[in-house]
């Protein structure tokens, strides 16, 4: 099966011909399969945010093409519009974009723009609200009566309600407390599992990537420099540090223990993995 979304040699230059000219993307190749969870990491200004906006056609790249389900998203105007709904994009701090009187109406904004019937809209709103854990009572509230975390989840539901086959989220957990971010991560994961959509998450949390992503793409100066499963990507710790990026906490601890002479595998990136490795080590008699 062909990848659900594929980007070929994407370059993007801002402000061509002015003093502000800046290359944001310099030849990016990328693809994601159905049901896959891809993490995108990179330093601020490495081109991540520009890149994800090219995937649903919000930004037209200077050169290169994006293919959704095998066909170019710029084939025709109708196609471009359709792709907006099929490739759902959750921006940073999406709660600041809520505008309707009730949460229900706000979540319904996307489906309404798709031209669905009232009953279909209602069904989708409830389904999306269910994914993010908002109940019927919340749906009738004004978005401004919700807590910060709930507001964020309402905004994500607004994108999920379009039933995108690719769900892209730009730092969905930024600025939330640990339980709030865990909830959001779980909501997105639930959507991926039940619909088989591809999920692409931009994040600064290496732990999040280590736990959830099947693959991680590392952006640096407008290019993808590493594209590998997390365990393999995070084994290149020095390169990542040189790019101003960190490692998952568990990987850092494992590396320190290795420095002290403990024989621990170098593909440990999650706390579960670390715990298992340490247990095995102890059973082995601690002969290091």
Partner 1 sequence: MLRDITIGQYFPDDTSVHRLDPRTKLIWTLVFITALFMARGVPSYALMLCALVCCVFISRVGARALVGSIKPVLIIICITAILNVFFTRGEVIARLWVLEVTREGLVNAAYMASRLVMLISGTFLLTYTTSPIALTDGIESLLGPLKKLRLPVHELAMMMSIALRFIPTLIEETDKIMSAQKARGADFETGGLVKRAKAMLPILIPLFISAFRRADELAVAMESRCYHGGEGRTRMKKLRMAARDYAALALGAALLALVAIANTLSGA
Interface residues with partner 1 (CB under 8 A)? 15, 18-19, 53, 56, 58, 81, 84-85, 88-89, 91, 94, 96-99, 109-110, 113-114, 144, 158-159, 162
Q: How far is the CB of 106 from partner 1 (least distance, A)?
A: 9
Nearest approach, Cβ of 99 to partner 1 (angstroms)?
Answer: 4
Residue whose CB is less far from partner 1, 109 or 234: 109
Q: Which H helix or E strand runs over 14?
A: strand 5-14
Smallest gap from residue 123 Cβ to partner 1 (A) = 17
| Pick 112 or 232: Cβ nearer partner 1 | 112
Going by the DSSP 8-state scheme, the letter that residue 213 receives in this structure is -
Q: Which is nearer to partner 1, 25 or 277 (CB)?
A: 25
Rounded to the nearest whole angstrom, what is the least distance from the CB of residue 110 to partner 1 in the complex?
4
* Sheet hosting strand 5-14, strand order edge to edge: 22-32, 5-14, 63-68, 71-72
Closest contact distance (angstroms) between CB of 125 and partner 1 is 13
Judged by beta carbon, residue 3 or residue 111, the one nearer partner 1 is 111
Of residues 235, 184, 238, the one with CA closest to residue 212: 184
Kindly provide the b/e burial profile for residues 252-286, where b requires at least 16 CB atoms within 10 angstroms of the residue's own CB.
ebbbebeeeeeebeeebbbeebbeebbeebeeeee
Q: Does residue 63 contact residue 227 with C-beta atoms inside 8 Å? A: no
Report, in Å, the least distance between residue 19 CB and partner 1: 7
CB of 143 to partner 1, least distance (A): 10
- In the bound state with partner 1, the residue whose beta carbon lies nearer, of 201 and 210, is 201
Q: Please, which residue, 98 or 134, has the CB nearer to partner 1?
A: 98
Q: Give the relative orientation of helices 103-113 and 118-131 as an angle to the nearest 10 degrees.
A: 120
* H or E element at residue 228: strand 223-228
Distance CA 75, CA 29 (A): 19
* Residue with Cβ nearer partner 1 (31 or 49): 49
Q: Which C-beta is closer to partner 1: that of 54 or that of 181?
A: 54
Helices (H), the chain: 48-55, 77-86, 103-113, 118-131, 136-139, 148-160, 178-195, 206-212, 230-234, 237-242, 249-259, 271-283
Closest to 168 measured CA to CA, from 143, 191, 134, 139: 191
Provide, rounded to whole angstroms, the least separation between the CB of residue 59 and partner 1: 8
Instruction: Measure the CA–CA gap between 115 and 128, rounded to whole angstroms.
Output: 17
């Amino acid at each position: 099966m062909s990848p659900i979304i594929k980007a070929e040699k994407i370059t993007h230059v801002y402000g061509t011909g002015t003093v502000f000219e800046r290359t944001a993307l310099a030849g990016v190749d990328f693809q994601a399969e159905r049901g896959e969870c891809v993490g995108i990491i990179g330093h601020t200004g490495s081109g991540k945010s520009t890149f994800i906006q090219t995937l649903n056609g919000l930004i037209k790249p200077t050169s290169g093409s994006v293919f959704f389900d095998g066909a170019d998203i710029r084939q025709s105007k109708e196609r471009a519009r359709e792709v907006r709904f099929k490739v759902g994009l959750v921006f940073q701090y999406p709660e600041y974009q809520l505008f309707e009187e009730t949460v229900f109406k706000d979540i319904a904004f996307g489906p309404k723009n798709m031209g669905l019937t009232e009953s279909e809209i209602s069904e989708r709103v409830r389904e999306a609200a269910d994914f993010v854990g908002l109940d019927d009572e919340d749906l009738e509230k004004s978005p401004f009566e919700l807590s910060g975390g709930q507001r964020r989840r309402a905004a994500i539901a607004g994108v999920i309600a379009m039933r995108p086959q690719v769900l892209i989220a730009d730092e969905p957990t930024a600025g939330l407390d640990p339980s709030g971010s865990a909830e959001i991560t779980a909501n997105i994961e639930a959507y991926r599992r039940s619909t088989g959509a591809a999920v692409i998450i931009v994040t600064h949390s290496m732990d999040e990537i280590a736990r959830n992503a099947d693959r991680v793409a590392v952006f640096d100066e407008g290019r993808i420099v590493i594209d590998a499963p997390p365990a393999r990507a995070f084994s290149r710790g020095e390169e990542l540090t040189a790019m101003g990026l960190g490692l998952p906490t568990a990987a850092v601890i494992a590396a320190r223990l290795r420095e002290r002479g403990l024989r621990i595998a170098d593909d440990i990136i999650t706390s579960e993995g670390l715990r298992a490795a340490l247990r095995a080590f102890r059973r082995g008699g601690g002969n290091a």
